[in-house]
Amino acid sequence: MSKIASDFDFTSYIQLVDFLGHCFDENTEVVLYDFKDINHSIIKIHNGHISGRSVGDPLTSFAMSKLKDKGKECPPYYVNYLSMSKNGTPLRSNSFFILDKQGNPRGMLCINTDVTKYQQAAELLQKLAFIPSIKSKEKENNISENNNNFNTNIEALHSSARDMIDEIIYDVTKSREISVERLTVDEKMEIVRRLNEEKFFLIKGAVSEVASILNVSIATIYRYLSKINKNI
């Protein structure tokens, strides 16, 4: 499997991916990121079918949003948080930031486990014990607002930068069928704001790609970003 050249020695971590990959079953993905090129950040992955990703795919929005903090925080890891594959599969994720001798983040090792079978088993046990499921309790108590707040914290594992943009467009418009020409200025501004919040514009060429997708000029994207940053 090919890997991207880096000025940091990831040899032992690449071997660790292989080791951990064989420790877990096929429902667990182990992935190694190099922060040198966040647009093609994955340099090693085991069981990539879990998230649908492969070597050369980009860094996640979650990692980009945390990238500036790591090295300042201790310990340099996040455990047992919820993420979602691009096909909607729920995953239990753990991320460890790899630091150099100066404490600078150079990469990240992640373990993502498909928890679908565990959820199905839990629901079966709830039925056998005559305990209402979490989903039915939420429906009865009409707590969709809390549900929405929870979903905003779920990491989405995208296989491309375009996937991330499309998902945010859907989140803003609540439609996967709407054409770019029908987007309002406020909707485009909100899409850019969300992408900026996810640190998407750290990716090389991101501004031109977003401009192309939203059918506006590069200058317009920079104008949006200027307005957004003034309001932060």
Going from N- to C-terminal start, the domains of the chain cover 1-158, 160-230
Q: Does the N-terminal peptide bond of residue 75 adopt cis geometry, omega within 30 degrees of 0?
A: yes
Total-model pTM: 0.62
Packing angle between helix 206-214 and helix 185-197, nearest 10 degrees? 150
Residue type, 32: L
pLDDT score of 68: 64
pLDDT score of 89: 85
pLDDT score of 94: 94
The DSSP call for residue 142 is T
- Give the largest CA-CA distance in the chain: 60
Instruction: Give me 104's structure tokens.
Output: 């600078």
Instruction: Give me 164's structure tokens.
Output: 């991330």
Tell which residue, 169, 190, 209, has the closest CA to residue 39: 209
β 90-99/77-85 pair status: antiparallel
Domain 1-158 top-level CATH class: alpha beta
pLDDT score of 206: 82
Distance CA 98, CA 96 (A): 6
Mean pLDDT by 10 residues, the chain (232 residues): 63 96 94 92 95 91 73 76 84 92 91 88 76 50 41 58 76 74 88 85 81 90 87 67
